Structure 1
């Protein structure tokens, strides 16, 4: 049985221990780590492989919504709060469920069922040609073949497609790794291109849809070879 790798971010010791026990008793879940500090949690979770996060909203220093706005990995989130007024805003972040304290084991199990169903659907729909990104705090599925190029934008990258541009919180290296396709080549520290979209090129620029994109000197020979191999 596939288990979901979980993290808990909850500053209340009582509620954190309760969650840890519920996760431990559920065979579909495996606890990776439990955090009392949201700032520490964000740093570690962004560098980890977590499928599901249990996240308290009302925390000091960085509240749950601030945490979500800086979360870089594509994990499901179950929000936990003692105040129902946060529910509407929570679902604007595309969270899986909202647990109102105090909640029962049955209500917890119901939330896990939702998470498992969502996880199964994502596995069924996942193909090599699809890429899920977080844009405007929501998960969006992109067709990789439609990506023209990717450019650096500070702590973000801008993904250019025919329909629209997507701003994604990521480094260029991390995003290039996620593409996992030979047709995507990083030709400059600030640009990744789709070789199939190149219309013309010389040793200084490639051109895609009237956009001139600079080529690093070290990439000239590699680009020549790759473009001559493109069908």
Structure 2
């Protein structure tokens, strides 16, 4: 799941991100500390879920939520606030839920589970544990647990599994949406990896990192610098 946490207080962002990763360890999380930076963040990519603080320094969270709803109609939006009276305003704006500060882990877990289920209901149905792809003029059902990583290949994507490779004419962002809840993380604009198959992580160019995947140790996959922090969190490093 791709999630944005928008709050002008860094400790609040850190705590909420920690609680999110406890529930959904495969999530890709972006941060913004103001309304302006939030608009820049959400305009740069499609998010599944937005946590928005009501009181931002430069913008009301309600204003940002209304803008986000126009930009990403499918996204789930959750208000984060210290004031329970904003719950009514949340539902007037079509916001999906709210959480109160200080964050209660059980409440955060329930909200995340509800948002995840709502997103699944609004997405095309997939057989449990399988990924349906169109390959060689036929539909192939791949066991998600056997997918090691996915990479861009021209205008298509190459899906590497423990049993062989498959090519599908699809954008990597679509696989990211479908596989992030299953423990996959986009380490680079060109690579989406199954965290369970990372065998090595080591320093790479420009003060970044690279990884190797089980069964594909000859291939070095670079990690974008802006992804390093989230990857370390996901791996518990």
Question: Larger C-alpha radius of gyration, 1 or 2?
Answer: 1
Higher relative contact order (CA 8 A, sep 6+): 2
Q: TM-score with structure 2 length normalisation?
A: 0.49
